[in-house]
Amino acid sequence: MRFAILVNEGPYQHEAADSAYHFAAAALAQGHEVSRVFFYMDGVHNANRLQEPQQDDRNIVRRWSELAEAHGTDLVVCVAAALRRGVKDEILGAGFRISGLGQLVEVGIQADRLVTFGD
């Protein structure tokens, strides 16, 4: 099955980002495809490489980057939501890119399922 994921919440104030990551990792481990993860609203903060979590805490940006590198998953950050929140190209983690909502529409059409995490 080909999944697309929409993440609407930031990495440390809500469980949606963790749930989205674990869902993607589990789907990939089961042999499914996660073609694109689209970060929207406060979800754009998941791409900010300037975050420095404590050593004993999870590093969400690194997790997504490693997943994208290992599986070729496209990590797309909504340009309008990113700019409103001060997230620009120069602070994106590895594997993330900024683009428009058209990328969400496109993957929603192409995927078998679009799974949303967060409000």
List residues with catalytic annotation. Answer: 78
Q: How many angstroms separate the CA atoms of 2 and 35, rounded?
A: 7
Report d(CA 45, CA 49) in Å as an integer: 9
Q: Is 99 exposed, middle or buried (0-12, 13-18, 19+ CB in 10 A)?
A: middle
Per-residue DSSP letter, 95: T
Joined tokens for residue 24: 């993607």
Map residue 78 onto helix, strand or coil: strand
